[in-house]
Every structure is written in structure tokens, then in C-alpha cells.
Amino acid sequence: MRRGGFNFLEPLPASPSYPSLEMDLVLTPLVGFTRQGERLGMGGGFYDRCFADDRLRRQRPTLLGLAHSFQQVETLPTLPHDRQLDAVVTDCELWMCGSRR
């Protein structure tokens, strides 16, 4: 492991990678979220780019956000390429959102 751009531990480049086409579930850390599944991350667009072309799979991975309940907001600005969460788990509850509700 090594420290990455946002000071998170990341696997070394020689580690095996897991393409998004092979994933069933993705745990997504959040800065903020809405009940509709809109998310605010760290601003790098990593998750949006990783799952940008869902046409390559029959079913995209379930996107599960992880947050504290106080991180919920009423609205967030979104762009057409933003990926919506399927659910959010907080310290208080589970929110089902998006098209898999």
C-alpha cells in the first residue's frame, strides 16, 4: 500500500486490479448525499469515470454510499455524467434510492 493523492492508502501498481465490469458491489465514501441518491465526493470524479460506460455490462455494480446521517442534504448540484447511488448506509438507517428501489 502507498499514500495516494488524497492521502488515502492505495494498492501498489503491481497489485492485481479489479475492473468495474467484474464488480458486484462498490462501497462509496461520501461527503454529502440526498435521499434521491445524488452524492458529493471528494471532487475528483473517480467513481463517475469508473462507471461511465455501463453499456458494457448486463448489470452495473450496486453503488452503496457510506456516510453519517448528518451528511444528508436536501439537494446537490448534479451534472449529466454523475452516477446515482443505489443506497446509502448511515449510522442511523439504510436509504434505498435510485432505480433499484
- Whole-prediction pTM value? 0.72
Tell me, what's the pLDDT at 72?
95
Give the tens place of pLDDT for each residue, 31-64: 999 999 999 887 777 777 776 665 555 567 888 9
Q: Is 39 a catalytic residue?
A: yes
Is 25 in a helix, a strand, or coil? strand
Report residue 22's pLDDT band, with 50, 70 and 90 as the boundaries. confident
Tell me, what's the pLDDT at 65?
94
- Distances, alpha carbon 30 to alpha carbons 14, 57, 58, 66, 72, in Å: 28, 25, 26, 6, 10
Planar angle of CA 11, 42, 96, nearest 5 degrees: 95
Residue 1 pLDDT exceeds 80? no
Of the listed 2, 35, 48, 54, which one is catalytic?
48
Nearest to 81 by CA among 50, 57, 58: 50
Q: Is 54 a catalytic residue?
A: no
Please report the domains of the chain, with CATH numbers, ordered by start residue: 2-100 (3.40.50.10420)
